[in-house]
Amino acid sequence: MASAQTNQIISQLWRPVEGQAPLNVYAIVDAARSDSIYPEILGAIVPSVCLHRGKMAEELAWVAPYLVRLQAQDPFLLWLLEAGWGKSRAAFVRSSATLNELKRHFRTCLTVYDEEGKSYFFRFYDPRVMRTYLPTCNAAEIKTVYGPVESFIVEDGDPSKLLHFSWAGEKLQKEKISLT
């Protein structure tokens, strides 16, 4: 049975948006955060895809980021929230896009370049990174990160709260929601 906090998170993930069709809900799950994540993804009956490609996906399978399509009350979602909330294991995504469309989009966000052109792996999906990074972005950067995403939902530094980031025209909206 899910805890009251888990049920509140689920209700926020599937919160209706007035005048919009229901959105798909996904998690970008960071397998590097716990040895139990990769086996759970493999055993889950949920559509999922590694955000790495080819040889890198094979070599880093145990620590890679995975995009997972979620359903309310799915055993994988319940496990992820009960075992992982407050441990920076996932960022949640609301979008009308398909799994493959989001996969293509998020793969473009995994690498960033410095002024000299050197590439770096960017863990944008880590809740600790996302909640710090998004508020610092200009409009062009937000458009790049959001792409087909309606909103991102991540745990706050205080796990009794969640942060809901949405993109409204030219302005990032940040809503802090208490789970107690």
- Considering the entire predicted model, what is its pTM? 0.95
Among the listed residues 122, 127, 115, 126, the one whose alpha carbon sits nearest the alpha carbon of residue 162: 127
Q: Where are the domains of the chain?
A: 4-11+24-178
Q: What is the pLDDT of residues 21-65, one digit of tens each?
A: 899 999 999 999 999 999 999 999 999 999 999 999 999 999 999
In degrees and rounded to multiples of 5, residue 101 shows phi and psi of: -65, -45
d(CA 87, CA 158): 11
Low-confidence ranges of the chain (pLDDT < 70): none
Asked whether 137 and 124 are in contact (CB, 8 A), the reply is no
Q: Across the strands, what pairs with 111? A: 121
Buried-exposed string 102-132: b where 16+ CB fall within 10 A, e elsewhere: bbebbbebbeeeeeeeeeeeebbbbbeebbe
Return mean pLDDT, the chain. 95
